[in-house]
Structure 1
Amino acid sequence: MDRTITLGDVSITRVIEWQGEVAPALDIVPDSTPELWDENRSWLAPDFWQPDTGLYRAHMQTWVIRSQGKTVLVDTGVGNDKERPYFPAFSRLNTGFLDSLAKAGVRPEDVDVVVNTHVHADHVGWNTVLSGREWVPTFPNATYLISKTDFDFWNPINGTDRKAVAFGLPAHLGNQNMFEDSVAPVHNAGQAVLWEDSYTIDSNLRLDLQPGHTPGSAVLTLQSGTDSAVFVGDMMHSPVQILDTDLHTCFDEDPKAAGATRHRVLEWAADHNALVLPAHFPGAGAAEVQRSGSHFAVKEWAPFNRTTA
């Protein structure tokens, strides 16, 4: 299996920044049950879940899209040198992400568009790099597409009330410093477009607001020829949410809205035979889905490399 697939006239390459165990699966998906995970052990383990420890596994990854002469990055991971006092696993990282991007044929100056599906620390980190004592845009020629709703929601001057709770603490603590080091610098540099409702990148790619995980979460839809795909960010963290779209994660700001979004998008994907590409799935990383009663099931996994970063 390869790291690049082609849909219509568009190529998609997977670039992995980080992979590993995050926390107990029952903490990540708090309404799930041990029985649900165990009943699906044959395909959840070992890629998505470690049954011996009960730990949930995840990737931090960027999708590189090449469409109509443009290079588009979907989400930029955790980033290097970022101070994350409440999420030590992602604090002051020193990964070779830019080298991995170069191996995929992408230099920072080659990037035309950066899509942040939402504003969370593990989706905007490589928006910027440290230059001396300043955070500067990593991709000097790129337009950064950020939903205005999420920009305003996470802007600390607005004093937004955030509701998600992760691991017994307010989930927003894991995003401490994130706006200042990874979002504000690209906006101040004049490279951010704060879009509302929907945004068309080209005739193959369209962004639409799909709230729930955060108020400004978005889905990027690809339609080229007879092929379709949806890049869903954190609409799903685990494939158990394909089995039951009502299962939310501890990171969702509005669990009910997140479930409604999940069901709506998976309905569209099943009806259009579209590939679903979440931000954090290990293993094959993406899948086609099909209806299974009132819920859904994995129809076929994408042909991406399962194991190597």
Structure 2
Amino acid sequence: MTSEHVERIVLGDVEVLRITEWQGPFAAARDLVPDSTAGLWQENEGWLAPDHWDPAGDLAVAALQSWVVRSGGRTVLVDTGVGSGRERPGSPLFHRRQSDLPGLLARAGVRPEDVDVVVNTHVHADHVGWNTTADGEAWVPTFPGAQYLVPAADDFHFGPDNGYGQGRQEDDRLVYEDSIAPVHRAGQAVLWDGEHRIDENLVLESAPGHTPGSSVLRVASRGDRAVFAGDLLHSPVQILSPSCNSCFCLDPEQAVASRRRILERAAGERELVVPAHFGGPGAVEVRRSGAGFALGRWAAA
């Protein structure tokens, strides 16, 4: 299943465009969310299928997407996908993948020079790939006038100062060298930690665990609220069972703590939760349910 499309949501004075490059079966459900049980998926089949789970193959369904956020007269791009033609030998789905995020952005009326801020919620291959574009044999920033906001903890962890995550994977080195280092060389990278306010409507907050610098972007405008949750959530089953991490979380205990904190606040403050990889409508309300959480209404783009 593939689906390239653009959708629009309005939150107060903030316009959000959802740019979907791809959606389809991604991995075995309990490989993606190892602590989940077969029963958790089966008991919720009625709404998990087909947007979030393929029961026939027991496969989690995911989306590869970015978000354009227009706020205060500026254009903010949240995450930049896998990129095109990247060497990712450890990730078969991403290795030398051909994609066209700039083309999708153009269809939404966004040129590279229109982007004022790029937010990388964290430094993983599918969130920073279109940070840069090939120029001959060099990689250069795709968005020439943009400030790139990169979590300082991830820049250290995956960068050369910490030996590319202490040599965790070859892909980590490749991602940093082709998607982060060129932005530094161009003088467009801004490292931040803790909290970083973009404007009166948008603020970045650290939510570590998935990676050391994982972050969320909060939107608050004229009573409307949303939280772009990055990879704190890969599947809606993690809302029902927040103790379940994805297989990609580097610090499982910290990831659970961050996930619970973000969900607790979303339920208490009626924030729309917008994870990076949810298929279907892509965003959902969260409610308290006893000591845990339940899903409310899905967003209508």
**TM-score, normalised via structure 1 length:** 0.93
Report the Cα offset of residue 18 of structure 1: 2.1
Q: What CA distance in whole angstroms lies between the structure 2 residues aligned with 1:239 and 1:112?
A: 32
Specify the SS of the correspondent of 2:19.
strand
Q: What letter corresponds to residue 273 of structure 2 in structure 1? A: V
Q: Which residue is equivalent to 2:256?
A: 259
Specify the SS of the correspondent of 1:277.
strand
Q: Which residue is equivalent to 2:202?
A: 205
Please say if residues 85 and 176 of structure 1, whose CA atoms lie closer than 8 Å, have aligned partners that are also in contact: no
Q: Segments of 4+ in structure 1 off by > 4 A?
A: 160-163
Q: Which residue is equivalent to 2:273?
A: 276
Please say if residues 60 and 77 of structure 1, whose CA atoms lie closer than 8 Å, have aligned partners that are also in contact: yes
Report the Cα offset of residue 57 of structure 1: 1.1
Number of residues paired by the alignment? 297
Among candidates 239, 250, 255, match of residue 236 of structure 2: 239
Change (3 A) 1:33 1:173: farther
Among candidates 62, 69, 77, match of residue 73 of structure 2: 69
Please say if residues 10 and 65 of structure 1, whose CA atoms lie closer than 8 Å, have aligned partners that are also in contact: yes
Task: Give CA-to-partner distance per residue, 1:24-49, whole Å, 9 cap, x none.
Answer: 01101001111110000001111111
Change (3 A) 1:162 1:284: farther
Q: What CA distance in whole angstroms lies between the structure 1 residues aligned with 2:161 and 2:24?
A: 34
- State yes or no: 1:12 paired with 2:9: no
Q: Which residue is equivalent to 1:214?
A: 211
Please say if residues 84 and 176 of structure 1, whose CA atoms lie closer than 8 Å, have aligned partners that are also in contact: no
Q: What CA distance in whole angstroms lies between the structure 2 residues aligned with 1:184 and 1:176?
A: 10
Report the Cα offset of residue 174 of structure 1: 4.7
Report the Cα offset of residue 242 of structure 1: 0.4
Q: What letter corresponds to residue 224 of structure 2 in structure 1? A: D
Q: Which residue is equivalent to 1:167?
A: none
Q: What letter corresponds to residue 300 of structure 1 in structure 2? A: R
Report the Cα offset of residue 175 of structure 1: 3.6
Task: Give CA-to-partner distance per residue, 1:205-247, whole Å, 9 cap, x none.
Answer: 0011110101101111111111111011001000000001100
Q: What CA distance in whole angstroms lies between the structure 1 residues aligned with 2:164 and 2:229?
A: 24
- The equivalences for 1:20-39 within 5 A come to 20-39=24-43
Q: What CA distance in whole angstroms lies between the structure 2 residues aligned with 1:78 and 1:160?
A: 19
- State yes or no: 1:128 paired with 2:132: yes
Q: What CA distance in whole angstroms lies between the structure 2 residues aligned with 1:216 and 1:281?
A: 21
Q: Which residue is equivalent to 1:3?
A: 7
Quick one: percent identity of the two aligned structures? 56
Change (3 A) 1:98 1:104: same
Please say if residues 31 and 247 of structure 2, whose CA atoms lie closer than 8 Å, have aligned partners that are also in contact: yes
- State yes or no: 1:226 paired with 2:257: no
Q: What CA distance in whole angstroms lies between the structure 2 residues aligned with 1:161 and 1:154?
A: 5
Among candidates 289, 293, 298, match of residue 301 of structure 1: 298
Q: What letter corresponds to residue 82 of structure 2 in structure 1? A: V
Q: What CA distance in whole angstroms lies between the structure 1 residues aligned with 2:112 and 2:128?
A: 15
Q: What letter corresponds to residue 94 of structure 1 in structure 2? A: Q
Q: What letter corresponds to residue 36 of structure 2 in structure 1? A: S
Q: What CA distance in whole angstroms lies between the structure 2 residues aligned with 1:243 and 1:280?
A: 17
Task: Give CA-to-partner distance per residue, 1:125-173, whole Å, 9 cap, x none.
Answer: 000011111000000010000011110000134226569xxxxxx6x45
Segments of structure 2 that go 5 or more residues without pairing to the other structure are 1-5
Please say if residues 49 and 56 of structure 1, whose CA atoms lie closer than 8 Å, have aligned partners that are also in contact: yes
Segments of structure 1 that go 5 or more residues without pairing to the other structure are 164-169, 305-309
Greater relative CO, 1 or 2 (CA 8 Å, sep 6+): 1
